[in-house]
Amino acid sequence: MSNNTKWLASVQSLEEAQSLNGCLPDILDMKQPAKGALGALPVDIVEDIVKWVSGRCLTSATIGDLPMQFDVIEPAIMNMAGTGVDYVKIGLFGGEEQTDCLQALTPVIKQLTTPVIAVIFADRNYETDVIEQVLKAGFSGVMVDTAEKNARSLLDLWSIDALTAFVNTVKNAESLCGLAGALRIEDIATLRALKPDYLGFRSALCPERRRNASLSATLAQTIASELE
């Protein structure tokens, strides 16, 4: 979509969101880092944050690290979409059930007024056509992240060539494209050159890169400045 790479900041509470009041990201993402790569926040907290943001930036929220089962994921999508977030994010953790689950979710995603973003993981294995499966299922975008938060970053796991191919495939389909996964502030210039729609940050916003700690408004300002 856009030519300018924007940024996403993941927050785990209303207090963290409010700490960014002077430096709101382009997308304020909501998740619970202590509960996994895409740990979900309670719906009432997401609603409070959406109300506080009041349209000043876009918002997104994850549905949790869930098994690829339609009867688990579909209600989680609907519950999170009901909070008023601009995007709902679903983690695709691979496995034999994923293809069938995506097919079952397709009519739900296509009928939902809230755009749904698929998250794939650089440290998981997928069928070679996973991006095509996701786009066919009606997702509005795809981002790549890391599932295991063990200090290995996206750039440790995927080559620049692989990242370039990913960005081009998603953007050529006119879908939103995001890169995340233990990104460092010093990675911004390299990744921005690939022209993804956005870069996602959590650990880079936290002192000593401790993703479960509270984030720093100063580090947020630094990231925002790098992407101006």
- Helices (H), ranges, 60-204: 70-81, 98-111, 130-136, 154-157, 160-172, 188-192
Pairing between β-strand 27-30 and β-strand 58-62 as defined by DSSP bridges: parallel
Residue 213 CA, distance from chain mean position = 19
Give buried/exposed letters for 4-31 (b at 16+ CB in 10 A, else e). Answer: ebbbbbbbbbbebbebbeebbbbbbbbb
Radius of gyration of the chain (CA): 16
Active site residues: 31, 89
C-alpha 58/C-alpha 191 separation (Å) is 22
User: How far is the C-alpha of 5 from the C-alpha of 228, rounded, in Å?
Assistant: 9
